[in-house]
Amino acid sequence: MKLLEERIQTDGRVLGTEVLKVDNFLNHQVDPALMQAMGNEFARLFATEKIDKVLTVESSGIAPAVFAALALNVPMVFARKKQSLTLSGDHYVADVYSFTKQETNHILVDKRFIQPGERLLLIDDFLANGQAVAGMLQIASDAGATVVGAGIVIEKTFQKGRALLDEQGVRVESLARITAFENGQVVFADESPVVN
Amino acid sequence: MKLLEERIQTDGRVLGTEVLKVDNFLNHQVDPALMQAMGNEFARLFATEKIDKVLTVESSGIAPAVFAALALNVPMVFARKKQSLTLSGDHYVADVYSFTKQETNHILVDKRFIQPGERLLLIDDFLANGQAVAGMLQIASDAGATVVGAGIVIEKTFQKGRALLDEQGVRVESLARITAFENGQVVFADESPVVN
């Protein structure tokens, strides 16, 4: 998605060889018009799928996910993150390990909000090691729901998340695909011929 | 806002005399069309104010805030919640006490994202004891920014938050004002004659 790649070039900050900070338009300060454009793009990419619900994880997934859900005319559910957990039986739960923070969190979804047989579109801001998406896949599986695919804002192709999802046969659509950071600059994967 | 009051009547769950659960359309499962309508309504209510930025707190404030920001054509910033804190000097920080959870959290905003003199609209999902809005007011004050008002999705008039904000001269616009829970039912304040 050209608009997003340009924004990453202009406003993203590369830290070292693995980290891209986009906190001035995506995950702390948020550009609502860009979120809307991204939501519309996710809806377009998955237009041939019947989708019942959009699932994401708080907090950075919420803005792109709510616009995707609006465009698809379906509800959005955001999984809650918790460090500690009192299991009640009312929630689907998955563990999500953060390589950045080197800690395990739990993500939870109330069982009322995913029904067996529902078709889910997963949305997340980053695909790096794939732990958050893997957690959502587990929750969907536990609920007996079907995942039609994962819509990712920024994918880092050089980390293992994409391979992990490919192995599981999950369709992944990323709005920006980054193959490397070189000398503080972002290198994007060859663009698809889609006009944005 | 009639649409919201009707939704609370239909889908809200009253627990005891103080708690309203709206996790099936606002703060866990989210109705994107309702969020958009609420965002538009906030923009309409504050249309005469010059607004530079919308400020909210993760996670439940994000969806209504991003639609308000879209309608106002300004960026949205969401404060991050943290239980523990390593102060770096890069962030504005305020304490927020949760009466429900009986614990103190910190909310943080990167200093790059609020500039002195900026005019902020605060958005939050609930106004009960007013702690989250008070935290945002402190951050705005520390940043030298001006708060034009607070847009609240659901206000519980019988808790002390509204009085606290009135004392500070903060304009509050709430889309639904609840005066009591009686026999498991929601009692709304007299409606304003505004047609929604």
CATH number attached to the domain at A2-80+116-188: 3.40.50.2020
Residue A193 predicted with pLDDT over 60: no
- Collect all residues of chain B within an 8 Å Cβ-Cβ radius of residue A62: 30, 59, 62-63, 66
Q: Between residues A88 and B51, which one has the greater pLDDT?
A: B51
Domain ranges (residues) in chain A: 2-80+116-188
Report pLDDT digits (tens) over A32-74.
999 999 999 999 999 999 999 999 999 999 999 999 999 999 9
Q: What pLDDT score does B191 carry?
A: 55
- Collect all residues of chain A within an 8 Å Cβ-Cβ radius of residue B28: 77-78, 80, 109-110, 113
User: Omega into A59 within 30° of 0, i.e. cis?
Assistant: yes
What are the E-state strand segments in chain B?
13-15, 19-21, 29-30, 53-57, 76-82, 91-98, 103-110, 119-127, 146-156, 172-182, 185-188
Report pLDDT digits (tens) over A177-189.
999 999 999 999 9
Q: What pLDDT score does B39 carry?
A: 98
- CB atoms near residue A97 (< 10 Å): 14
pLDDT along chain B (196 residues), means of 10: 97 92 97 98 98 98 98 98 82 92 93 98 97 98 98 97 97 97 92 48
Give, in order, the Cα–Cα distances in Å from B56 to each of A127, B139, B146.
26, 11, 15
CA A190 to chain B, closest CA, distance in angstroms equals 30
Averaged pLDDT for residues A143-164: 97
Q: What pLDDT score does A191 carry?
A: 55
Residue A194 predicted with pLDDT over 50: no
Averaged pLDDT for residues A93-109: 92
Q: What pLDDT score does B194 carry?
A: 47
Q: Between residues A17 and B131, which one has the greater pLDDT?
A: B131
Averaged pLDDT score across all residues of chain A: 94
Q: Within B25-168, where are the H helices?
A: 32-45, 62-72, 131-143, 161-167
- Cβ pair A114, A142 in contact under 8 A: no
Taking the C-alpha atoms of residue B147 and residue B107, their distance in angstroms, rounded to an integer, is: 17
Portion of chain A with pLDDT greater than 90, in percent: 87
In this complex, do B78 and A59 lie within 8 Å of one another by their Cβ atoms?
yes
Q: What pLDDT score does B99 carry?
A: 84
CATH architecture of residue range(s) B2-79+113-188: 3-Layer(aba) Sandwich (3.40)
Give, in order, the Cα–Cα distances in Å from A4 to each of A104, A160, A173.
30, 22, 14
In this complex, do B28 and A77 lie within 8 Å of one another by their Cβ atoms?
yes
The question of ipTM being above 0.85 is answered as yes
What is the DSSP-derived secondary structure letter of residue A112?
Answer: G
Question: Which among B72, B92, B73 is positioned nearest to B82, based on CA atoms?
Answer: B92
Determine which of A81-85, A110-114, B115-119, B122-126 has the lowest per-residue pLDDT on average.
A81-85
Taking the C-alpha atoms of residue A88 and residue A12, their distance in angstroms, rounded to an integer, is: 41
Amino acid at A4: L
What is the DSSP-derived secondary structure letter of residue A114?
Answer: S
Contact with chain A for residue B23, Cβ under 8 A: yes
Place of tokens 């995942």: A147
- Binding-site residues from annotation of A for xanthine: 20, 27, 156
- Collect all residues of chain A within an 8 Å Cβ-Cβ radius of residue B23: 110
Q: What pLDDT score does A195 carry?
A: 47
